Amino acid sequence: MALKATIFKADVQIADMDRHHYGGHALTIARHPSETDERMMERILAFAHHAGDELAFGKGLSADEEPDLWEKDLTGGVELWIEVGLPDEKRLRKACGRASEVQVYAYGGHGAEIWWKQTGGDLARNKNLSVMNVPRQGSQAMARLAQRTMQLQVTIQEGQIWVADGKESVQVELVAWKKADPAAR
């Protein structure tokens, strides 16, 4: 018998001063049995960083043809493709061909650094790709906020992100390993 996904609910209030996006989002997150709290919270972080009316979660780890998050236009074209973790180069090349913009949120400390050293050179030619590293300390602190029902406040200002649950506040400062060429969009 296959294990089923665990459902998490998150009420996320976002104040993004950098993009001038303010609002609440009621998220339902299906966590695959093999997914960790850390990875799930990175998906929420990526959602908050790109929040908008059309941004949606993909089918998750069990769907190879979908990203962790994506935003489609009215014709079904993929505007934004977001991967969380350390995706393989072939998957990212394919995503760059399908979407106007591709974002990767890498995490995992030393493992993420090794992944970037191995794939960064090959990914440089993808002009519509951005790679952000979530430092290990912030990533692990975010994992401690994970609960089946969450009320999170996310504040983004000058590239810094604060995530709070009413009891604890976590600061995450993303490190840009690669930025997309604005002309590629």
Q: Following DSSP, what letter does each residue of 160-177 receive, concatenated? A: EEEEE-SS-EEEEE-EEE
Please compute the mean of the pLDDT values over residues 13-25 and round it to a whole number. Answer: 96
Q: Which amino acid is at 142?
A: M
Q: State the pLDDT at residue 185.
A: 60
Please provide the average confidence, as pLDDT, over all residues in the chain.
Answer: 93
- Would you place residue 68 in the very low, low, confident or very high pLDDT band (cuts 50, 70, 90)? very high
Architecture of the structural domain at 6-184 = Roll (3.10)
- Would you place residue 63 in the very low, low, confident or very high pLDDT band (cuts 50, 70, 90)? low
- Which of 93-107, 139-153, 154-168, 171-185 shows the lowest per-residue confidence on average (mean pLDDT)? 171-185
Q: State the pLDDT at residue 60.
A: 65
Measure the CA angle with vertex 96, ends 181 and 157; round to 5°. 50
Instruction: List 106's β-bridge partners, or say none.
Output: 133
User: Closest Cα partner for 5 from 29, 31, 25?
Assistant: 31
Distance of CA 168 to the CA centre of its chain: 21
- Between CA 166 and CA 163 the distance in angstroms is 10
